Amino acid sequence: MSTMKTVILAGGLGTRLEEETGRLPKPMVEIGGRPILWHIMKHFAHHDFREFYIALGYKGDVVKNYFLNYHSLSGDFTIDLAHGRMTPCGSSTEDWRVHLVDTGESTNTGGRILRLREKLGREPFLLTYGDGVSDVDIRSVVEFHRRHGKIATLTAVRPPARFGAIHLDKAEHVLSFDEKPTTGDGWVNGGYMVLEPKFFDYLVDDKTGLEVLADVARDGELVAYRHYGYWQCMDTIRDKRLLEAEWSSGVPRWRVWK
């Protein structure tokens, strides 16, 4: 198992998916009967990254309960009602180590990462969002990061035009980072980031967002791994239905595991 830790941001309100997020945090909205968070973690585990730090916030107890009951909900078990003892039958198929960390109800994305500083130590780590799936080769992203020797690497994807754009040069350096929507078909940050401990120097407090990547870019310390394959976020109910339909087809493009 790789020793690199993976942080998944799972504390946002998900207001544009309020049909589901009124009762659930967005990472727990299901695709094919499993939370999208599970799909994301299966992807990382497929590439041998199996230690996760889930940054919780809004309705974090739902995520905690899911993992507390994961073994019994995903397999057979015997329960002794007289004594209240539950015995799993067989072992879990997931050899994951999952740290569930409450990073605050209203903490911004950068602030959530900052709250994990002591737990992550002084090693590079992976970071992604809890609401998108892809077939990106995460090991290749890590190797790309190591070759370039910068503070931060993000995975650049080409999604629908409603996202903000990043502008790259031929050497994959990020020239600018624009969070405003674009009408073009440029590259955007699809997550799947690799960050060095020096990234914490850009994080101030709970109010800090990932907009600080613009500062990292200005310092010449942000590079982008261009991913030409599949990527899809679950930002709206339309996105959820699209992902459900693809899963139901039996050949979802993000399912890289067997």
- Tell me the pLDDT tens digit for each residue of 15-34: 777 777 678 899 999 999 99
83 or 127, which is more confident?
127
pLDDT at 79: 81
Average the pLDDT over 221-248 and give the result. 94
pLDDT at 183: 46
Break the chain into its structural domains and give their ranges: 6-72+92-248
- Tell me the pLDDT tens digit for each residue of 71-126: 777 667 788 888 878 776 765 578 999 999 999 999 999 999 999 999 999 999 99
Report which residue type is found at 144: F
CATH class given for the domain over 6-72+92-248: alpha beta
pLDDT at 73: 72
CA proximity to 79, closest of 68, 69, 89, 70: 89
- Residue 1: pLDDT band by 50, 70, 90 thresholds? low
- Residue 179: pLDDT band by 50, 70, 90 thresholds? low
Q: What is the SS3 assignment for the chain?
A: CCCCCEEEEECCCCHHHHHHHCCCCHHHCEECCEEHHHHHHHHHHHCCCCEEEEEECCCHHHHHHHHHCHHHHCCEEEEECCCCEEEEECCCCCCCEEEEEECCCCCCHHHHHHHCHHHHCCCCEEEEECCEEECCCHHHHHHHHHHHCCCEEEEEECCCCCCEEEEECCCCEEEEEEEEECCCCCEEECCCEEECHHHHHHCCCCCCCHHHHHHHHHCCCEEEEECCCCEEECCCHHHHHHHHHHHHCCCCCCCCCC
Q: Answer yes or no: is pLDDT of 8 > 80.
A: yes
pLDDT at 258: 86
Q: To the nearest whole percent, how much of the chain has pLDDT over 70?
A: 88
Cβ 153 vs Cβ 144: under 8 Å:
yes
Average the pLDDT over 47-68 and give the result. 96
Q: Is 162 exposed, middle or buried (0-12, 13-18, 19+ CB in 10 A)?
A: exposed
Rg value, the chain, Cα: 19
pLDDT at 166: 67
Strand pairing category for 97-102 and 51-56: parallel
Q: Answer yes or no: is pLDDT of 202 > 80.
A: yes
pLDDT at 4: 95
- Please report, for residues 2, 5, 7, the alpha-carbon distance to residue 130 in angstroms, rounded to integers and kept in the order given: 21, 15, 9
Cβ 117 vs Cβ 101: under 8 Å:
no
Residue 7, both tokens? 């942080």
Q: Is 89 exposed, middle or buried (0-12, 13-18, 19+ CB in 10 A)?
A: exposed
Q: Answer yes or no: is pLDDT of 225 > 50.
A: yes
- Residue 197: pLDDT band by 50, 70, 90 thresholds? very high
Cβ 48 vs Cβ 138: under 8 Å:
no
170 or 121, which is more confident?
121
- Residue 182: pLDDT band by 50, 70, 90 thresholds? very low
Cβ 216 vs Cβ 222: under 8 Å:
yes
